[in-house]
Structure 1
């Protein structure tokens, strides 16, 4: 059997643990084995094949792995729940002051209170939601 066939068998062999364990490093080694197979098919000697395999595998691990780790550790940009309501605009339905009131926020009626104790908002006014305190929107 030709050397490039052995490299492809090695690539498949390295792909199996990738699927079973979800460790991307095995996939990077499998790509290195494919590079070794291409080198063998082009007539490179055994030493060159092993060097190409090692260089491609190490380069992929050194470049791709930090990117994958960084993207896995970042929080998604999509806010949900009460976090998604902060910063949105609402319409005052009943007078809102430090004692309370009602607003329409995201299609729902919420109890609300003013952030500034001296501020009062009349029905029909647009307000910004700055925080959610339990079931009460704090508006400005």
Structure 2
């Protein structure tokens, strides 16, 4: 028993490594946070602190990791860019007018390598061919567009 007291740091190290390996199978980051607590317990043992202090420090570090670190890590891992598919991916893109676009008669634009029927987002505008436009909305097979401002030189 006396030998174990002198080698308790190795028990903490073994627990930390075991929890780390088991985390690879669960992938929920809980066991990894507990492993971090075990490594804190190991450090406390190497510093010569009593076993009760080692357990309290390991439990405190594990709890802190679970409640403070894990939520932000999980959010980063499970979050990502918004996936936009179909026509909605064109909203916010820029295109070029190929046929005059007006409220009375829809024109054509080329955006993302595709030709689209287009109407002006502001119905009072007439947009001439060659102008660059922003796609503001897609409604069915029609893109509602607004011209980009030009800087006159």
- What TM-score, normalized by structure 2, do the two folds share? 0.77
Task: Report what 2:54 is aligned to.
Answer: 49
Q: Give the deviation of 1:129 after TM superposition.
A: 1.2
For the Cα contact (< 8 Å) 1:115–1:139, is it kept in 2?
Answer: yes
Moved more, 103-112 or 54-63: 103-112
Output aligned runs, 1:37-116, within 5 Å.
37-71=42-76, 76=81, 81-98=86-103, 99-116=105-122
Task: Report what 1:12 is aligned to.
Answer: 17
Distance (Å, rounded) in 1 between the aligned partners of 2:93 and 2:79? 24
SS in 1 for 2:40: helix
Distance (Å, rounded) in 2 between the aligned partners of 1:132 and 1:16? 49
Q: Give the deviation of 1:22 after TM superposition.
A: 0.9
Distance (Å, rounded) in 2 between the aligned partners of 1:128 and 1:76? 21
How many residues align? The count is 140
Distance (Å, rounded) in 1 between the aligned partners of 2:41 and 2:139? 60
CA RMSD between the two structures = 2.3
- Residue by residue over 1:52-92, the C-alpha shift from the partner in whole angstroms, topping out at 9 and shown as x without a partner, is 10111111112112323544675626756544422232221
Structure 1 residue runs of 5 or longer lacking an equivalent are: none
Matched, 1:22 2:27: yes
Structure 2 residue runs of 5 or longer lacking an equivalent are: 147-153
